[in-house]
Amino acid sequence: MVALPKTEPKTDPIAQVKATVRIEEYALHTMGLELKQRAHSEWWGRCPLHRETTPSFHIRVTEQSFKCFGCGKGGDVIDLEMAATGETNPRVAAERILAEYGAQPGPSRAQPLRMASVTRLAGSGPLSESAVSWLASRGISERVARRNGITGDKNAITFAYVNEGEVVNRQYRTLSAKGYRFDPGKPVIPFGLDDCDGQPEVVIVEGVLDKLAIEEATGRTAVLAMPSATPSGECYALACEAAKRAERVLIATDSDEPGQKLRDELVRRIGADRCWLVGWSPYKDANEELLEVGREGVDALLCAAQPIPVEGVFTIDDSWDAIERLYDEGMGRGASTGWASLDRYYTVRRKQLTVITGTPSSGKSVFADALMMNLAKSSWEWKFAICSPEMQPLERHWAHLLGLWAGQPFGAGPTPRLDRETLRQGREFLRDKFFMVLPEEPTVDAVIEGFLWTHRRHGVDGWLMDPWNEMDHSRPAGMTMTEYCNNELRRIKDVIRRHDVWGGLIAHPTKQYRNKQTGRYDVPTLYDIADSAAFFNKADNGFVLVRDKGDEHAPVEVHVQKVRFQEIGGLTGASPVLFRHDKTTGRYWETSQR
């Protein structure tokens, strides 16, 4: 059976807090901090302990700890409470935390749990006609009610919360108005503990009526009802203990947001490997399902419960549809760059990050604009969002794109410029295919948010950040630039994968010097990009542009130095792809002549 303490324990509030209070929940819901989840086990936000504009407050869920890279404070949830309130005694801080959660430490909290302090359940009590009628209106029969020890008079109905045959608490509901209350000063525990202990399959629901509804519909009695969507740590512990021998635990909480949070926490505590999810949609819970659809509907949804897809663990069945497409269609290449000679080494694929670097004035901003224009004008008809602080003012960048589209100079010069009608047509084309993102403070967060807006609103297919070096890279104190670059590039890759877009990133190399013997710049590598080797390690693809500024007739060399998947290209090695550049239009064309 699920054991309750039989002697008065000397409860340590510090140990109680560490065992039951999650630091992220306390920070979010009790302290009211505005935090963003950057990874499955990390939260970031502005520190509550000092004034700051750049988020430097970091919570690690796995370690249950916090660290502020701005003020240097850190520790566990008790340390956080002490730092926020100025309290110097950890025990007092722990007691405050427990008070926030409606719990009290020490013997006064544990006393009601002693076996001598509870009342023994002695058979079924009275169940008035009005109580029977009210239960019937909820689809619950007198037989099921009496088996669960429910009693009632003409004004109220009573649910006895029992553990090991002992009544620990009672819950009351008036028949004339909605609302439940427990006996004050007594522990609040799950309903149905004795029904579930030692059973091979247990269902967990959110309310007592949902437990009764499942028994009414299916005959299942191994059903546990949590007392609310926000139960105490002790409730969670008792639920886990009752279900510890179950091979399958069906989580059937309410379909609203509080119910889904309860579901997630139960899964976390019980273990995803044993949990199966029951969905009640479009209805809220088991009792509504019983009333609206009937017994067959409740039983069908319980039988259709799905196992938890454990994060990071997959079987071949999860990918089988895609595998069959690969078998039938082959490992397809990416979209054409518009240049046949470059397509031999690189094609454009969604969900991948391509890093572009090169020697000074090699034309990095103008494979990238020309590359995007080729994709936009081709049968692919891609749309792009561009953040390019260097290509300012905006009208100058738009003019460059108009010249690329038309294949004619935008400005007056020795060759005919595009006329007014062509200018108008170019405007119509660019309006639907290109979007500029230029936040006042071009942080990575702000740029990603702008990109996501264009994706939601216009369905863009690709994003270009040009260049990385012009972004605002304020980082928490104590974090190295290498750590920062790794984190941000990983986050950018995660965003482009989740949203099925191509990601382009231009980054400048460290300062280069001409080779004294040849008078030319040596060919840089992705490892030469300023700040971090992460630009090579995190990129899916990468290429380097080289142009000899001292020789206007020399071609632009494109060195493809990284391609993650061989079906979309390969490395150029010692034979770069050669291009000529038309300065008047911004266009590039392939050449074999140096």
DSSP states along 218-282: H----EEE-SSSS--HHHHHHHHHHTTT-SEEEE---SSHHHHHHHHHHHHHH-GGGEEE---TT
> What's the pLDDT score for residue 35?
83
Q: Which two tokens stand for residue 306?
A: 């799905």
Q: Are residues 258 and 203 in the same domain?
A: yes
Residue 426 lies in a domain: yes
Other beta carbons within 10 angstroms of residue 35's beta carbon come to: 18
Output the six-digit token pair for 194: 């004795």
Residues 109 and 126 in one domain: no
Q: Could you tell me if residue 404 is inside a domain?
A: yes
Q: Alpha-carbon distance 219 to 179, whole Å?
A: 27
pLDDT in tens, 246-257: 989 999 999 999
Query: Is the residue at 500 inside a domain?
Result: no
The rounded distance, in Å, linking the Cα atoms of 383 and 524 is: 31
pLDDT digits (tens, 9 = 90+) for 425-441: 999 999 999 999 999 88
208 and 167 part of one domain:
yes
What pLDDT, on a 0 to 100 scale, did the predictor assign at position 140?
A: 96
Residues 6+ apart with CB under 8 A from 296: 217
Domain that residue 206 falls in: 118-307
Whether 297 is covered by a domain: the verdict is yes
Helix axes 90-100, 77-85, angle to 10 degrees: 100
> Are residue 82 and residue 140 in the same domain, yes or no?
no
Does the residue 362 lie in any domain?
yes
103 lies in the same domain as 129: no
Indicate the number of domains in the chain.
Answer: 3
Domain edge (last residue) among 48, 83, 116: 116
Q: Which residues pair with 63 in a beta bridge?
A: none
Rounded Cα gap, residues 186 and 168, in angstroms: 7
Whole-number Å distance between alpha carbons of 153 and 482: 70
Contacts of 299 (CB under 8 A, 6+ apart): 217, 218
User: Is 475 among the domain residues?
Assistant: no
Last residue of a domain, one of 116, 135, 167: 116
What is the pLDDT at residue 310? 65
Q: Rounded distance, CA 136 to CA 133, Å? A: 5
One domain, residues 288 and 344: no
Using CA atoms, how far apart are residues 39 and 17, in angstroms rounded to an integer? Answer: 25
Residue 53's CB: how many other CB atoms inside 10 A?
Answer: 8
- 122 shares its domain with 110: no
Q: Are residues 143 and 229 in the same domain?
A: yes
Residues 21-38 pLDDT 10s: 888 888 887 787 888 876
Q: What is the pLDDT of residue 101?
A: 64
Whole-number CA gyration radius for the chain: 32
Query: Do 134 and 228 belong to one domain?
Result: yes
Q: Which helix (H) or strand (E) holds 449?
A: helix 444-458
- Within this chain, do residues 227 and 298 fall inside the same structural domain, yes or no? yes
Q: Which residues of the chain have pLDDT under 50?
A: 1-10, 104-123
Domain of 29, CATH number, reads 3.90.580.10
Is 160 in the same domain as 293? yes
Cα–Cα distances in Å, from 526 out to 426, 496, 509, 532?
A: 35, 21, 8, 10
Domain boundary (68, 98, 116) is at 116
